[in-house]
Structure 1
Amino acid sequence: MLPKQNRLRRSRDFSQVYRRGRKAVSAHLIVRGWAIGATPEKTVPMLRVGVVVSLKVHKRAVVRNRLKRQVRAALRTLLPRLNPGFWIVISLKPEAVECEYAEFLRELEQLFTKLEVFHGHS
């Protein structure tokens, strides 16, 4: 599980990321990232992430939930390297059913680098 403060939960927040964010695609994942600027009440907003697995990926909820857990576990290892001030939505493609943890980790690293979400990118 991701820490509560790092989760995207409201439908409105997901919609904003889909509308305003940049997109990067790999063989099994689609990642959208939206860089939130500094807000008047907070200097740097908290990093927030949501994982989406639709019925198109697999009909069984057991399989979809397993995929979400694998992606979240990979994400947890990358969390300390991510810049605050980003909202990220990770969507899985139907091909992700064959994917394992190591592949998710590798693809997330590549996509986050492409979107410049890691520390050191601006």
Structure 2
Amino acid sequence: MALPQENRLKRRQDFDWVYQTGIRRRATHLHIVAVQTKSPCSGGLNESQFGISISKKVSKLAVVRNRLKRQIKAALRSLLPQIKPGWSVVIIVRSSILGCNYWQILRELEQLLLKSEVIRGD
């Protein structure tokens, strides 16, 4: 099951904008680039949007890259209720992730989102 339509970052221009203006946080297996789309003071906040970037350097096999995308999307779905609205986030996968299971990915993603203040700390 995929992320809801309103939570997807789809266009190349959106990815480029996040890369250029976002804050970067790094961990062992994942990197994130996040930018707040609107100020929290203004009323019209959108849903947060996420994009996943996996290079062929991670694995030449599309099967492996797609499995990693599915695991990251599942982790994001479980974290969606805690995520603040109005953020655009690109998740970049490193090749060291190949030995990880779902729970390690979930824990590292949650730590990165906490560090960048995309997720509520309660």
AA in 2 matched with 1:14? F
In 2, the alpha carbon distance for the partners of 1:37 and 1:120 equals 20
Q: Deviations over 1:53-106 (max 9, x none)?
A: 110100000000001101111111001100110000001001111111000110
AA in 1 matched with 2:80? L
SS at match of 1:15: helix
AA in 2 matched with 1:11? R
Aligned to 1:5: 6
**Unaligned 5+ residue runs, structure 1?**
none
Q: Which residues of 2 match residues 70-85 of structure 1 at below 5 A?
A: 70-85=71-86
4+ residue runs of structure 1 moved beyond 4 angstroms?
Answer: none
| TM-score of the superposed pair, with normalisation by structure 1 | 0.92
Q: Deviations over 1:3-30 (max 9, x none)?
A: 0110000000000100000011111001
RMSD between superposed Cα atoms in Å: 1.4
**Unaligned 5+ residue runs, structure 2?**
none
AA in 2 matched with 1:63? V
Aligned residue pairs: how many?
Answer: 118
In 2, the alpha carbon distance for the partners of 1:99 and 1:35 equals 29
AA in 2 matched with 1:74? A
AA in 1 matched with 2:99? E
The 1:99/1:120 distance shift into structure 2, 3 A limit, reads closer
In 2, the alpha carbon distance for the partners of 1:119 and 1:36 equals 17
Aligned to 2:111: 110
How much does 1:43 deviate? Answer: 1.0
Aligned to 2:69: 68
